[in-house]
Amino acid sequence: MSLALYRRYRPETFEEVVGQEHVTVPLQQALRNDRVHHAYLFSGPRGCGKTTSARILARCLNCERGPTPTPCGECRSCRDLARNGPGSIDVIEIDAASHGGVDDARELRERAHFAPAQSRYKIYIVDEAHMVTSAGFNALLKLVEEPPEHVKFIFATTEPDKVIGTIRSRTHHYPFRLVPPGVVRDYLAELCEKEGVTVEDGVLPLVVRAGGGSMRDTLSVLDQLIAGSGPEGVTYQLATALLGYTDDQLLDDIVNAFAARDGAAVFQVVDRVIEGGHDPRRFVADLLERFRDLVILAAVPDAAGKGLIDKPADQLDRMRDQAARFGLAELSRAADLINAGLAEMRGATAPRLQLELLCARVLLPAADDGSVLARLERLERRLSTGGAPPAVAAQHPPAAQLARQQAEPGGHPVSHQPAGWPPEDEPAGRLATRLTGQRAAGQLAGPATAEPPGPAAVDQAARPGGEAAAAPSPARPGTARPGSRPAAHWPAPAGDGETAVPARPTPVDEPAVPAAQPSGLDTLSVRRMWPQILEAVKHRRRFTWILLSQNAQIAGLDGTSLQVAFVNAGARDRFMSSGSDEILRRALIDVFGADWKIEALVDPAADPSRSPGPGDPGDRGPGPFRGGAPARTPPAGPRSPAGAARPAPAPAAQPGPAPDLAADDPEPPGSAGVAPAPRAVPVAPEEDVPSEDDPDADELGLSAHELLMRELGATIIEEYEND
């Protein structure tokens, strides 16, 4: 009968204790310096060398040639305290789990006063010290505080916090740690060689993983594998079967199927998992581990060389290939889904079902937003029947760009959606991206600023095709806000843009920006994107975002420079002195891909929080806190150098409903409110003062925030989205 590995390989010197150098080195140094304390506390997870080290320390202390960091191994004490030695009567091990009571403590206290029989010191190793009762500790307190010259204490515990503070503070505390996988791995390889056992590639990582950083557990696992191995040694097959790990083959198969979006293959693997008697949860845990490895591989190509991944070379090649087929974003998304799925499976009564549903989620990119997906699929169908993609894409480079750069509110970068798609889906994919992006834009203009749909959304609403109209639809309940009244104002069921399509007349196809520059960008279109610009600014710097959203508006764009009007000089100066202009410049690059010079002006009329009642409706345009119909947006007064680009103020030219209402309505009667001609003549702010009964003053068009800001002068500092 052979002795367990962990007993045969119990270290006898500090050098043999692996992975705890942070403890063993200073301990040895203290011995070398002859600065030995009278009480030690060794803490740390189980099986990482605490008891072993306590014994080694005792051996070092009592060696005839000691105290020494390297016991001679020949003297009587050293032989007694060797691995298979009989033990020393002067080194007393107490298992506090069974002897932690006050009586045991008292007995220890009395005996401690007798001098050691044969050795230099009488050494008490109190194992599982956290099990000593507080009465027991109190009985020991005096002794631990001022022990006789010949007495040393070594407490070992997994829970140092449970050792009463008065004792702990009298000890030197050495925290042991779990042993890092790489260290365990090397140790195992060495040990297998000593044992003359052949172990197949890929087995040791499994053993390391099963051991979880505890050396004792790891050695037990290896022991069991060796015991069960035949003449060919420990095979991978034996290891996965015995340890219950999922065979890499199964993982390869399902990952490849995910990469190919081959649903049939995915569910066949699931079937094999179940038929093979594997626990679905175990499988999902292993799948998560695999995706973790793939994420690392995608980010760190040399992950194996750096010791981040421990896999046989051929397996590594396969995984590199898998990682490449996904791309980092998609991998990380899949990993998130699997992680969430694993949590859901805990305690689930139908784990197979859970596993299958999880696979379905991973298979469908961004399937977490069913409405987008549904729309996408419809679009694809339409494309395949020859329908041209709506003009949306062509008219909205900014939104498309936004889609590429901005994560959807749900947190999934939109950009990886098309990435995994087969090339023939490209047009649909691109279009979808734009739509999703616009939808995101709509949401950003909405919940992000808690306002009625931003100008972009309105603009899209007026677009042909209906899909865009559905873009800011209340697909998520969370996006519906008081100000937007979507249900009442979207004529077609907003959740389904498709049905609305045929009903939509084409005339609205007209570009909303008649005076667009060749680049397609003019003051108006930039203003329309103001919510997105602010959002991009917010990602870069909150301070700038607050400053801009509360004090500024776009005044004009003259091709190379963008004028931003601030309500007062203070705001402008803060903007400039804080380097916020640079933040805005970069945000504009983010959103438009255009590098404009930023000019900051002062224009009291630029106050974005100007209320519609007493304020100037003409100034309510592009501010972040309003649902700006593009029509009415002359923020800059005559002082603006770009004043010439200022569009007509709305009221006179606008037969339609109030702009805010227009903002809520995709198709206001008469599209003048949507696509007005900019007026070339600058208009003084005063001219825009509305009459008391101006329809613009309608408070129904105001969101809670606007009301708060208007009535109470509230300032938005930060906003959380709760979905």
Give the separation between CA 111 and CA 88, rounded to whole angstroms. Answer: 16
Q: Is there a contact between 696 and 617 (Cβ–Cβ < 8 Å)?
A: yes
What gap in Å lies between CA 137 and CA 143, rounded to an integer? 10
Residues lying near Zn ion in the complex (CB under 5 A): 63, 71-72, 75, 78
| Nearest residue to 491 (alpha-carbon basis) of 710, 298, 356, 669 | 669
Q: Please pick, from the candidates 14, 19, 435, 633, the single residue that binds ligand ADP as defined by CB under 6 A.
A: 19
67/608 with CB nearer Zn ion: 67
| Identified binder of ligand ADP from the candidate list 12, 14, 17, 552, rule CB under 6 A | 17
- Residues linked to residue 152 through DSSP beta bridges, in sequence order: 123
Is 48 a binding residue for ligand ADP by CB under 6 A? The answer is yes
**Residue 550 interacts with ligand ADP (CB under 6 A): yes or no:** no
Residue 428, interface with ligand ADP (CB under 6 A)? no
* Shortest distance, position 175 Cβ to ligand ADP, whole Å: 11
Among 28, 43, 52, 479, binds ligand ADP (CB under 6 A): 52
CB of 38 to ligand ADP, least distance (A): 21
**What is the torsional sign of CA 37, 42, 48, 53?**
positive
Instruction: Give long-range contacts, CB 8 A cutoff, 24+ apart: 669-672.
Output: 671/462, 671/507, 671/508, 671/510, 672/631
Nearer to ligand ADP, 18 or 140 (CB): 18
DSSP 432: H
Instruction: Write a three-state SS string for 210-254.
Output: HHCCCHHHHHHHHHHHHHHCECCEECHHHHHHHHCCCCHHHHHHH
**DSSP-based three-state secondary structure for 95:** strand
Asked if 670 and 664 count as a contact pair (C-beta separation under 8 A), the reply is: no
Who's near 505: CB < 8 A, 6+ residues apart? none
Contacts of 263 (CB under 8 A, 6+ apart): 257, 360, 363
Q: Which of the ranges 214-222, 280-288, 370-378, 535-543 carries the binding residues for ligand ADP, by CB under 6 A?
A: 214-222
Chain residues 219-238 in contact with ligand ADP, contact rule CB under 6 A: 219
Measured between alpha carbons, how far is residue 194 from residues 9, 14, 573 in Å? 11, 20, 74
Q: Which is nearer to Mg ion, 53 or 229 (CB)?
A: 53
Nearer to Mg ion, 51 or 220 (CB): 51
User: Angle at CA 554, nearest 5°, toward 549 and 560?
Assistant: 130
C-beta closer to ligand ADP: residue 47 or 465 = 47
Q: How far is the CB of 18 from ligand ADP (least distance, A)?
A: 4
- When asked if residue 14 is in the footprint of ligand ADP (CB under 6 A), the reply is no
Which two structure tokens, joined as six digits, stand for 545? 């975002």
Residue 97's identity, in one-letter code, is A
Angle subtended at Cα 455 by Cα 451 and Cα 458, rounded to the nearest 5 degrees: 100
Interface residue with ligand ADP, options 112, 129, 163, 215 (CB under 6 A) = 215
Based on the shown chain and the rule CB under 6 A, indicate whether residue 354 belongs to the binding site for ligand ADP: no
The span of 12-20, 413-421, 496-504, 698-706 binding ligand ADP (CB under 6 A) equals 12-20
Tell the smallest beta-carbon distance from residue 332 to Zn ion (Å). Answer: 56
Nearer to ligand ADP by Cβ, of 219 and 557: the residue is: 219
Q: Which long-range contacts (CB under 8 A, 24 or more apart) does 102-107 make?
A: 102/133, 102/135, 102/136, 102/138, 102/139, 104/136, 105/132, 105/135, 105/136, 105/137, 105/139, 105/140, 106/139
Q: Give the Cα separation of 304 and 300 in Å (integer).
A: 9
Q: Which is nearer to ligand ADP, 47 or 418 (CB)?
A: 47
Token pair 């998130």 is at which residue? 336
**Closest distance of CB 85 from Zn ion, Å:** 11
> Between residues 156 and 319, which has the closer beta carbon with respect to ligand ADP?
156
Of residues 48 and 199, the one with the C-beta less far from ligand ADP: 48
Q: Which of 12, 18, 408, 678 touches ligand ADP by CB under 6 A?
A: 18
How far apart CA 602 and CA 604 sit, in angstroms, is: 7
3-state secondary structure of 127: strand
Per CB under 5 A, does 52 bind Mg ion?
Answer: no
82: which DSSP letter? S
CB of 265 to ligand ADP, least distance (A): 43
Residue 105 interacts with ligand ADP (CB under 6 A)?
no
Query: Strand 597-602 and strand 561-566: pairing?
Result: parallel
- Among ligand ADP, Zn ion, Mg ion, none, what binds residue 78 when CB lies within 5 to 8 Å by partner kind? Zn ion
* 51 part of the interface to Mg ion, by CB under 5 A: yes
SS3 124: strand
Residue nearer to Zn ion on the CB measure, 14 or 490: 14
CB of 82 to Zn ion, least distance (A): 10
Q: Whole-number minimum distance, CB 153 to ligand ADP, in Å? A: 16
Nearer to ligand ADP, 154 or 468 (CB): 154
Among positions 177-196, residues that touch ligand ADP (CB under 6 A) are 179
What is the closest distance, in whole angstroms, from the C-beta atom of residue 288 to Mg ion in the complex? 32
Which CB, 155 or 566, lies closer to ligand ADP?
155
Residue closer to Zn ion by CB (options 75, 328) is 75
Residues in contact with ligand ADP, counted by CB under 6 A, come to a total of 21
Near ligand ADP in 139-158, by CB under 6 A: 156
9: partner contacted, choices ligand ADP, Zn ion, Mg ion, none (Cβ within 5-8 A by kind):
ligand ADP
Q: Which residues bind Mg ion (CB under 5 A)?
A: 51
Q: Which residues bind ligand ADP (CB under 6 A)?
A: 6-7, 9-11, 17-20, 46-52, 156, 179, 215-216, 219
